[in-house]
Amino acid sequence: QSVLTQPPSVSAAPGQKVTISCSGSSSNIGNNYVSWYQQLPGTAPKLLIYENNKRPSGIPDRFSGSKSGTSATLGITGLQTGDEADYYCGTWDTTLSAVFGGGTKLTVL
Amino acid sequence: QVQLVESGGGLVKPGGSLRLSCAASGFTFSDYYMSWIRQAPGKGLEWISYISNSGSSIDYADSVKGRFTISRDNAANSLYLQINSLRAEDTAVYYCAKSILVTTNFGVANNFDYWGQGTLVTVSS
């Protein structure tokens, strides 16, 4: 099991909004920043969100991140078929160093 | 533009060894932490090691401690991972990643802002 808990899958229709949750503890999310990664099929992961809610250059503002307590959320609005991918949250853990969630598969119906 | 290119993967028997390499370009390699992250077939991401920009600070996941050794050559803009005593569960795509690891008053900011394309390590008899 992963230290960070994500739903295995989420789905929504094109144009709609979806959120992906990431649940941790005070040892990780509760006291450190969260990042999010998008992994399109057959490719390497790409950084989507860092420091809870910041977007790297080139990432559209359809992607957003937030954190509250020991949980974080990735939001994607205006869903496109090209957003179909696996999404991972990541953070620092006091004991385990860098940790990731188990990943969430997004299906755009 | 930032480029990370891994090499060195392949098929190896249980108990064997491999040395993975990652050639970096497009940024000042000696200024940044670097990490290795792996992904078993059909599974999620697993961080396995990081090394500081100077090489003075190194950490490993418990799953590889004592078997894997990370190193870097800043003059050659290269990152390495020596993997020994390989097991079937080490079968994975191994990614190198440019890393940000900063301790602030509000917590640790750790993220991986650029990734290579990965190199596949298969451990099988």
Q: How many residues does chain B have?
A: 125
CB-based contact, A1 to chain B, within 8 Å: no
In the numeric block, the tokens 């569960």 are attached to B89
Reading chain B (125 residues) residue by residue, the pLDDT tens digits are 999 999 999 999 999 999 999 999 999 999 999 999 999 999 999 999 999 999 999 999 999 999 999 999 999 999 999 999 999 999 999 999 999 998 888 888 889 999 999 999 999 99
Q: Which of B110, B113, B117, B119 to mutate to test the interface with A (most CBs of A within 10 A)?
A: B110
- Of A19, A35, A18, A31, the closest CA to residue A100 belongs to A35
Measured between alpha carbons, how far is B106 from A33 in angstroms, rounded to an integer?
Answer: 8
The dihedrals phi and psi of B30, each to the nearest 5 degrees, come to -70, -5
Q: Which residue does chain A place closest to B107, by CA atoms?
A: A32
Tokens 């098929």 belong to: B11
The pLDDT tens digits for A56-99 are 999 999 999 999 999 999 999 999 999 999 999 999 999 989 99
Nearest CA-CA distance, residue A59 and chain B, Å: 12
- What stretches of A30-109 adopt beta strand conformation (E)? 34-39, 46-49, 63-68, 71-76, 85-93, 97-100, 104-108
CA dist., res. A90 & res. B120, Å (int): 22
- Judging by DSSP bridges, how do beta strands B92-104 and B119-123 pair with one another? antiparallel
